Structure 1
Amino acid sequence: MSISPLPKVLFFDVFGTVVEWRSCVTRALAKAAELALLDPEKQLPASLRERVGAMTPRDWRAIAEEWRASYGQFTKNFDPSQGFISVDDRHYTAIQKLLQQRGLEGLFTDEERWDLALCWHRLQPWPDSVEGLGLLNCQFRTCTLSNGNVSLLEDLRSYGSLPFTDVTSAEHFGAYKPSPQVYRGAAQRFGLDPSQCAMVAAHLYDLKAAKAVGLSTVYVERVQEEAFTAAQIAEAKQEGYVDQWIGLGSDGLIEVARQFGIPVETSS
Structure 2
Amino acid sequence: MASMSMTASGTRTTSLPEVADPSKVAPKDARQLSRLFFEQLALLEEGSHEHSYARNTLIEMNMSLVRFAAGRYRSRGADEMEDIVQVGMIGLIKAIDRFELSREAEFTSFAIPYIVGEIKRFFRDTTWAVHVPRRLQEARVQLAKATEELRSRLDREPTVKELAELMSLSENDVVEARLASNGYNSASLDAAIGGSEDGESALQDFIGMEDAALGLVEDFHALAPLVAELDERARQIIHMRFVEELTQAQIGERLGVSQMHVSRLLSRCLARLREGMLTSQ
Q: Under a length normalisation based on structure 1, what TM-score does the superposition of the two structures give?
A: 0.22
- Identify the structure with the greater helix proportion: 2
- Identify the structure with the greater strand proportion: 1
Q: Under a length normalisation based on structure 2, what TM-score does the superposition of the two structures give?
A: 0.21
**Structure ranking higher on relative contact order (CA contacts 8 Å, 6+ apart):** 1
Larger Rg, first or second structure (1 or 2): 2
